[in-house]
Amino acid sequence: MLASQLAKIVNGQLVGNDFEFDHVAFSSNDCNPGTLFIALPGSKTHGAKFAAQAMQNGASGLLTDVEPETSNYVLVTDAFEAVNKLGESLVRSYSGKIVVVLGASGKTTLKELARSLAPVRVWSSYGNRNTIISLVTDLFNERESALNAPYWVLELGIHDKKDADNFLQVFNPYAALFTSLGAEHLEFLENVDVAVRTNLKVGMAATKRFALVSDEYSVEDAILFGSPQTSAWFDISSFTCDGCTLGKLICNGEEKDVVLPFWGKRSAQSVAGAAAFWVSEGFCLDELPWENLNTINIWGRQQLTRWGDLLIFFDAYNANPESMKEFLEVVSEVPYGKKGLVIGDMLELGEYSHYWHRKIAHWLKKSGIQYLILVGNEVKHTLRELEKVDGHAMYVEWYRDVETAKSFFMIPEDIELLGLKGSRRIALEKLIQEVSEVEF
C-alpha cells in the first residue's frame, strides 16, 4: 500500500515523499524494512518519540497525530481513529463470518479451542492480542490469508467503555462466544457491572450468541453451555497425573469421549462452547478435528513441565478472580498428595483489589495445599485474611516482589505438584526459569 492511499482512507495528510509499506507495527521494536510505524499516544509518552528508532530499524514511514522529528509520514487528527478507519477498509472487503470471543477470563483459551476445532479454514489473531489496535494490525499484516478464510475467530478484551463502540465500528460480528462474565480490568472500568455491560454491548450486535452458564449474569437469547441443564457440556470424569482431563462431551444429543491435553474445569466447558458453535453451523462432533487440541500451546496458560519428580503447573500469564478461583479448584482435585502454590498479585482490580485478594484466602483454605508462597503487595491482604479463616494448616511465606522471592525461594523436597498463578507483571516465571523445561 502507498502512503498516499492510506492518507485517503484515514482522512490524513501525506507529509514528505510518498512511500510504500506492506505491514504495520505500533512498536518501534517490531519495525523492519517495509513497515508503517503507527505512533500512538500513551499514558506517559507518545509513540512519535520513537520515530527515529523505528526509521533506524527500517520503517518506511509513520502514521501519527503529532508532527514527528522525521520526514515521510501521514498526519491525522487522531491516531486511534485512523487505525479504526484502516480496519474498516479491510473488513469491507471481507464476505465471511466474524466470531468474537468475550468475557472476563478464559477468552484466549476459548478462542484457541474454537480455532483448533474448526472443520474449515479460519483466520485468528495470535495469542491474546485482543485490543482493537492489535486486531487491526494482525489483520493488515495477514490480510491475504484473512480475507480468503470463511471464518474469523477474534478475541476482544474490554479495557474501556469505548472498546465496544470501537470494535463495532470496525467489525460486524456474526457470532459471539462468552466465557465467564465478571471482574476484569477494574482499574480502568468503573465496576463489574460496567465491564459486563460493555461485553454484552458487543455480543448483542451478533446474530448468534453462546454463553457459559452463570448464576450471576445472563446473555439474552444465547445458547448456553457448561452444565447438564444446557445443550452442550463436558462431563468431567477425572484429572490424570500427566495433565489430562478425561470426560464425555455432550452436545445437542451427540456424545463423544474426549481426552483433553490440559487440566481445567472451565476450559473443559469452553470445549463444549466451541463445539456447540461449530455444530450450530451444520457440522457433527465427529467432523471436528479433535487431534488439533494437542497443538494448542499458549504461553503461561496451563503449561505443565517436570523437574525430576516435581510437576510444575504454570498458569501465570494473567490472573483475575474468576481464573484464580478455577485454578485453585483444579489444584484441589488433581491426583497429587503434596501440593504447593506460588500466588502473585491480581492486578488491574482498582478499588476492588483488597476485597478480591482477601477472597483468595478463603479459596486457598479449601485447596488442600501444604505449602504457599505469596508474592506482591496486594497478596498481603490474602496473608492477613488467612489468619482469620478456618481450614487446614499450611506453611506460608510472603515476599514483596519476585526478585526477593527468588533469593530465598526453596521448593520442599516432598512437594509433588507446584502451581504458579498471578498477573503477568508479577513475572512468576522468574522463580522457575532455572528448573523448568518450558521456555519462560
What residue ranges define each of the domains in the chain, with the CATH number in brackets? 3-79 (3.40.1390.10), 93-295 (3.40.1190.10), 303-431 (3.90.190.20)
What is the longest distance spanned by two Cα atoms in the chain?
71
- Return the pLDDT at 439: 47
Report residue 187's pLDDT band, with 50, 70 and 90 as the boundaries: low
Are 114 and 277 in contact by the 8 Å Cβ rule? The answer is yes
- Return the pLDDT at 245: 95
The length of the chain in residues reads: 440
Report residue 58's pLDDT band, with 50, 70 and 90 as the boundaries: very high
DSSP code of residue 10:
T
Digit-coded pLDDT (tens) for 116-160 = 999 999 999 887 788 999 999 999 999 999 999 999 999 998 888
Report residue 440's pLDDT band, with 50, 70 and 90 as the boundaries: very low
Other CB atoms within 10 Å distance of the CB of residue 214: 18
Q: Nine-digit cell at 167?
A: 470494535
Which phi-psi region, left, alpha or beta, contains residue 303 (left: φ > 0; alpha: ψ -120 to 50)? beta
Residue 69 to residue 296: CA distance in whole angstroms: 43
**Phi, psi (degrees; rounded to nearest 5) at 50:** -105, 15
SS3 236: strand
Other CB atoms within 10 Å distance of the CB of residue 408: 9
DSSP code of residue 395:
E
> How far from 315 is each of 112, 233, 291, CA to CA, in Å?
16, 23, 23
Q: Nine-digit cell at 99?
A: 466470531
- Return the pLDDT at 277: 98
- Return the pLDDT at 300: 66
